[in-house]
Amino acid sequence: MDALDKKLLRDFGRLWPQFLAIALVMAAGVAVLLMSFGMSRALEETRDTYYERNRFADVFADARSVPKSLLEAIRGVEGVSAAEARVTTYATLDIPGKIPATVAYITSLPEVGEPLLNVPLLRRGNWPDPQATNEVMINEPFGEENDLWPGDTFTANLNGTEREFTVTGWALSPEFIYTIGPGSLIPDSEDFGIVWMPERPLAAALDRTGAFDNLTIKLRPGFPAEPVIDQIDILLKPYGTWGAIDRSEQVSNSFIDSEITQLQTIAYVLPPIFLGITVFLVNMVMGRIVTLERTEIGLLKALGYTNVTIALHYLMLAGLVAVVGVGIGWAVGSWLSFGLSELYANFFDFPYLVYNVSWNIYLVSGIIGVAAASAGAVRAALRAARLSPAVAMSPPAPPKFHRNWLDRTLSSIRLTQPTMMILRSLIRWPVRAAMSVLGMALAVSILVASNFFPDSLDVIIDTAFHQSNRQDAVLFFNDSMPENVLEDARRLPGVLQVEGQQYLTAVLRNEHREKRTAIEARRPGHDLSRIVDADGRIIDAPPEGVMLSERLAAQLALRPGDLVEVEFLGNRQGTYSLPVTGLVTQYFGLGAYMDQEAADRLFQQAPQISVINVTIDGRESDAFQDRLKDLPLLAGYAMMDENRQGFQDTVSQSILITTTIYAILGILITVGVSYNGARIQLSERARELASLRILGFTRGEVGYVLVGEIMLLAIIAQPVGWWIGWRVAKLMSDSFTSDLYSIPLVLNLSTYSSASLIVLLAALASVLIVRRRLDQINLVSVMKTRE
């Protein structure tokens, strides 16, 4: 080995704690990059593979009842390569041994062969016999949660008639990767399932023989969806269509898209923070190494080593740090990426996981890591290369300082000598102090930004479940019902209070902007399902016009007082120009509200409802849910306590994992900055600190100089970190907002204080490790070293 190569390895071995601290910070950035891109890539490829293999549709449409003869005209629309008609409905199930009623979405299977589109993947058992009238197939998670195996039976209430069915098999479908029932916020495989049954008996039970109510379409490759959707809407309009949608608006797919977008956002936001800190740390450490090795550099040049060779030597030292950091980052990132991808695959009901992270991601992350280390070392390497042998062999000229107004101010305060030493060090090296402050501030910001989710969750739960929705249960119907059905609901066991409302599917337009949503029509004074504005005030829907959620209004560029074009879909078709009367805050969906009487006048109809909100006596909850099995026209129901608890448990588990990972990352940054800063301070001021010991200062007073400087920088970093964390949290909150939900930016005092506490404790632990080395200094040998 060349002499410089031996020196390279010896230097790396001698300074391994400092280099390891830097490598861990770099590894964190590389790991987050790999984890985020790896998970998003795995989810994306798994989804795309699943869609392709099982022929996931491109366009979806629902209507009341469409004759099958129209299917040929639909298949003739330009751009359509395949179209399939189905019969669907929601129904309540009575599962043996289970008291509460269970809700299921029932969809038909073709009379001959397997479906053309959205092909279920058989996981256990067999497909139902197309000629059988009592055989069905269910989705696998539903079967597992309810212990419904092939051969078991259950009862379903179809259009007012109870029918017993036998389960023939379990399946999964690309159409129901994220399976949520009516009124639910998260998948609940125990209380909501998917049922496939032959078309003939299902159509007969629903009085739809020779007709369909659901349409799925596959487009020709590369053909846009918009013109096809326009033609389908025209063809289905006479039959009460709710409007065709493309994949992006299909519920299951939209949730997957939202999750992938969030993972990609994390990959773009967090890794630059870690890599930027790496640049600073490498620059700080390499600069100090060059300063301490001036004599060695002079000797090497005197022996004939060129400037290029010297510069490459120090760049290679930084390169070793990068290799270690990238290697650790690859290992940890790959482990996290694969493990979390498996969790996502199970949560989203994928039948398999396609985990094939491209080598490009490893290559890019490695190049970025090496580039960060090189960027930090290049200044020190060039400084070493520029030193002439004569200058390098001589001690560096002592820095020149002069008293300024800060020194005079400090002197007038009459601080202790160790405190004066700390403050003068910060004043005389302001750039290094500022960079240390920035490094620890970024650690605080990561903790603040990652911990705003629990605060936001509390606000969402309070607004959605305690202020807006105060009911115990929500009953849903497949079609609008006369308002007198409320009297039937009052006679259910344990019911204390009932209120009805109606959901009206509509397309809202403002010039070229349009959005499909559901308008909630309700009577004033409702107490169970309320409209809450941004200030927490309870308000009623306007007697005329429509009230919009803030996100919906922003997407349509509407303000109070503007007119919005509203095209109602379904069995109440018509287009009206209505004034926007106000805006409200809503975290789930894109809501719109209008008065029930105004809607009835608009459609010239008797009062109707499609949803019933009820409160019940908790002692009668089981009897209430058991009685729901016998209601003939009930499409489904949701128990709000279970809904809230399921949402809270699922989101809390995800938040716990996320905050734990980011707490570790924040600690790594703090340790990297604090430990390296303290080591450099010790190496630079060893003679000075030894002199204080000889002059009679105690170990505690001398240690205070070292510990106090780092901790003072850590304290100064806190407000800076709070502000950066607020900005990062706002960026994440804005990027996570979608049509499905929004995350409010809520940062409580406890979020800032916990982030600061973690960083301050990590900084103190790091500097105390270096403080121990101060006690081991040989005063005689230190005093013999040249300045």
Name residue 715's amino acid.
I
Name residue 128's amino acid.
P
CA distance 546 to 533: 14
Residue 22 within a domain: no
pLDDT recorded at residue 686? 66
Contact 24, 328 (CB under 8 A): yes
| φ, ψ at 250 (rounded to 5°) | -70, 130
> Beta partners for 109?
198
Closest C-alpha among 631, 696, 34, 662 to residue 366: 34
CA distance 17 to 129: 69
CA distance 599 to 171: 42
pLDDT band at 396 (very low <50, low <70, confident <90, very high): low
Residues written for the chain: 787
pLDDT recorded at residue 340? 83
CA distance 542 to 545: 6
pLDDT band at 407 (very low <50, low <70, confident <90, very high): low
206-215, 249-258, 554-563, 666-675: least confident range: 666-675
Closest C-alpha among 703, 475, 507, 465 to residue 609: 475
Taking residues 500-521, report their average pLDDT. 87
pLDDT band at 610 (very low <50, low <70, confident <90, very high): confident
Name residue 323's amino acid.
V
| φ, ψ at 627 (rounded to 5°) | -70, -25
pLDDT recorded at residue 227? 93
CA distance 359 to 43: 17
| φ, ψ at 675 (rounded to 5°) | -65, -50
Phi-psi region of 523 (alpha: psi -120 to 50; beta: other; left: phi over 0): beta
CA atoms lying within 13 Å on the CB side of residue 546: 33
pLDDT band at 395 (very low <50, low <70, confident <90, very high): low
CA distance 744 to 755: 20
Residue 603 within a domain: yes
Dihedral over Cα of 679, 683, 685, 687: its sign: positive
The tokens for 360 are 């490009």
pLDDT recorded at residue 51? 93
Closest C-alpha among 5, 680, 16 to residue 292: 680
Residue 502 within a domain: yes
Number of structural domains, the chain? 1
pLDDT recorded at residue 59? 94
Contacts of residue 442, defined as CB under 8 A and 6 or more positions apart, other chains included, come to 273, 276, 277, 669, 721, 724
pLDDT recorded at residue 139? 93
User: To the nearest 10°, the Cα dihedral for 443, 448, 451, 452?
Assistant: -150
pLDDT band at 6 (very low <50, low <70, confident <90, very high): confident
**Residue keyed to tokens 């309810």:** 146
Closest C-alpha among 87, 107, 86, 83 to residue 231: 83
218-275 pLDDT tens trace: 999 989 999 999 999 999 988 888 888 998 888 888 888 887 887 777 777 777 877 7
126-178 pLDDT tens trace: 999 988 889 999 999 999 989 999 999 999 888 878 889 999 999 999 999 98
Using CA atoms, how far residue 478 sits from 63, 91, 209, in Å, is 12, 9, 18
662-677 pLDDT tens trace: 777 778 777 777 777 7
pLDDT recorded at residue 86? 94
Q: What's the predicted TM-score (pTM) here? A: 0.77
**Residue keyed to tokens 């629902």:** 62
> Beta partners for 198?
109
Q: Which domain holds residue 540?
A: 495-616
Contacts of residue 427, defined as CB under 8 A and 6 or more positions apart, other chains included, come to 406, 407
CA distance 642 to 625: 13
Contacts of residue 263, defined as CB under 8 A and 6 or more positions apart, other chains included, come to 36, 37, 39, 40, 43
Residue 578 within a domain: yes
CA distance 185 to 461: 12
Using CA atoms, how far residue 241 sits from 81, 493, 573, in Å, is 21, 36, 9
Residue 198 within a domain: no
Q: Is pLDDT of 411 > 70? A: no
Residue 42 within a domain: no
| φ, ψ at 108 (rounded to 5°) | -90, 155
The tokens for 351 are 């039948």
Residue 571 within a domain: yes
Contact 774, 702 (CB under 8 A): yes
For 610-658, give the DSSP string.
EEEEEEE-GGGHHHHHHHHTT-TTEEEEEEHHHHHHHHHHHHHHHHHHH
How many other β-carbons are positioned within 10 Å of the β-carbon of residue 592? Answer: 27
CA distance 356 to 163: 46
Residue 335 within a domain: no
CA distance 20 to 18: 5
End-to-end, the C-alpha distance of the chain in Å comes to: 33
The tokens for 161 are 């008639």
Highest-confidence segment of 66-70, 101-105, 333-337, 403-407: 66-70
User: To the nearest 10°, the Cα dihedral for 389, 391, 394, 398?
Assistant: -150
CA distance 180 to 741: 14
CA atoms lying within 13 Å on the CB side of residue 551: 18
**Residue keyed to tokens 């005030």:** 537
Q: What is the CATH number of the domain that holds 607?
A: 2.40.40
Helix 430-450 vs helix 749-775: crossing angle, to nearest 10: 130
Averaged confidence pLDDT in the chain:
83
- 613 vs 279, residue with greater confidence: 613
Contact 464, 588 (CB under 8 A): yes
The tokens for 556 are 């349509």
- 611 vs 700, residue with greater confidence: 611
Q: Is pLDDT of 487 > 70? A: yes
CA distance 275 to 24: 11
Instruction: Tell me the pairing of strands 88-94 and 102-109.
Output: antiparallel
CA distance 733 to 748: 15
pLDDT band at 465 (very low <50, low <70, confident <90, very high): confident
Taking residues 679-695, report their average pLDDT. 70
599-609 pLDDT tens trace: 888 888 888 88
How many other β-carbons are positioned within 10 Å of the β-carbon of residue 82? Answer: 15
Contact 637, 476 (CB under 8 A): yes
For 262-286, give the DSSP string.
HHHHHHHHSHHHHHHHHHHHHHHHH
Helix 16-53 vs helix 640-694: crossing angle, to nearest 10: 160
Instruction: Give the whole-number percent of the chain exceeding pLDDT 70.
Output: 91
pLDDT recorded at residue 398? 62
